[in-house]
Structure 1
Amino acid sequence: MKILSIHYSQTGQLTQIMEQILSPIKKCFTIDEVRFTDNDAYTFPWGKKNFFDTMPETVLMKKMPLSPIHYQEEKYDLVIFGFQSWFLSLSRPCSSLLQDDEFKKRTRGAKFITVIGARNMWVNAFLDSKKLIEENGCKIIGNIPLVDRNANYISAITIQYWVFTGKKDKMWGIFPKPGISEEDILFSTKYGEIICEKLLSKQENSLQKAILDENKINIPWDVLFIEKRGKKMFRLWASLILNKGKNPFKRNFFLFLYRIYLYVALFTISPIVISIYALVFRPFMLKSESQKKNVILHF
């Protein structure tokens, strides 16, 4: 079996996760390991201006140039694909990879295992990847999302601290450390053991069930609620910025408005709407909510 492991990571966190997952698999199979880059388009730490300027093209999955990738094989049977979620979407370098002609040629018809490193909202990024992967005649047989388990509003603050300063310590000495916990990163070795076992026994079709049986993967109802509605608004903002921001001044103006919207929506409107939904509507939506989660988790 010809296996390609490929991922993009600014901070190095996803690289740590991939290394843990691949460790047991490499004892059984030879793997072509690639960490691809973006020609330094997105440096780390990010400046605020560059961070928000990334949003429109990311959300609308506009293709960007990547650094050349050196493959060891002409064709691959299995791809272990690691990516992040940016602005409730597949990160732009990763969506660009899935649209790259050379990558598509070498992976056409292959099976995919997706590995996600996210703050807490990974569903839309996964659905973006699923769409592009399936368009190339491929099939996802497993999905492993790892998230920051801190409260939504806390992690929204700490992730910005990490991204803008490059420091992965306790902000002001009181906030929890940003990112995925070391415990969860180390535990991901278990997923590698499961993958190895299923590949050796040729039981790939039961891989996702085995991953979920570890009871580490869940989609909080409030996160699902925000993702569904937030992505629609992000698409509207992305289209507005690209259509109206035809010069740097106009683009920066509309990006400034988007930043105001984002912070107001996240820290003011969202808590109110979620509280009302939880008290008034959610009791009648539990079955539908469960069905949606089931579809996402079992794709």
Structure 2
Amino acid sequence: MAKWTTADIPDQTGRTAIVTGANSGLGFETAAALATEGARVVLAVRDLDRGKAAAERIVAATPAARVELRRLDLGALADVRTAAEEIKAAHPRIDLLINNAGVMYPPKQRTADGFELQFGTNHLGHFALTGLLLEHLLPVPGSRVVTVSSVGHRLRAAIHFDDLNFDRKYTRMEAYGQSKLANLLFTYELQRRLTAAGQGTAALAAHPGGSNTELGRHLPAVIRVPAMRLLSQSAAMGALPTLRAATDPAARGGQYYGPGGPGGLRGYPVLAESSKQSHDTEIARRLWAVSEELTGVSYGLS
């Protein structure tokens, strides 16, 4: 089978893409590739200075690139609502929403709304953003929502409905695993609801394998240094599964893409398999209901 690369991205002229966390790493590479192929790309970032530097890098490499900045702090639901309204006002048509931003293994912290940081940022922030932008995706033929998960969705991962914020005992790995499992449960449930409602928008997921990005900065150095050297690949390679899920004409709603190498850690993007738990419809429906309650965002999809 041929290796899928950025050369396989179809012309994106006329399309609008929103990429969260686009100032560095996977998000930057995703945004740059889409802009290179003609998409108008909104860099939705928490740090506008870093976002401006990222936009300048993209334009320097592709002078015709059309990029713009929007401030988005996924750890503050009020900010998510403000950003969503600004994006909708500027872009009545949205073709792609790439839910890429995330945090991994930080010391125990809470979002502005009191949620455990990884669950609140990686899942609830993106759940709210997607729900608020969905009305501008649904009428657009071929529109897609791509949410970035992780191989970490398998590592000691469960949805702790009795302690979502890890108030009793915080474990970095378990909290991260919960958030990344939530990303997949959300994607699959969103696709089920879109299909049931007769909507053409597709929900897909991707994971980057082991990628050498800032995301791993909270890992202990004794683990981070050898892991980055032996198990990881570049951010540009890590972004390929997301780009394939977003642009491959053959990709379908409910699919999950990741690197095709051993353990899914390196290599070119292929269809990947997620855990049995990620496909549990009962857990997914319960998480959906809890997420609507916690964020105050209702999708109107049953």
TM-score (norm 2): 0.44
TM-score (norm 1): 0.44
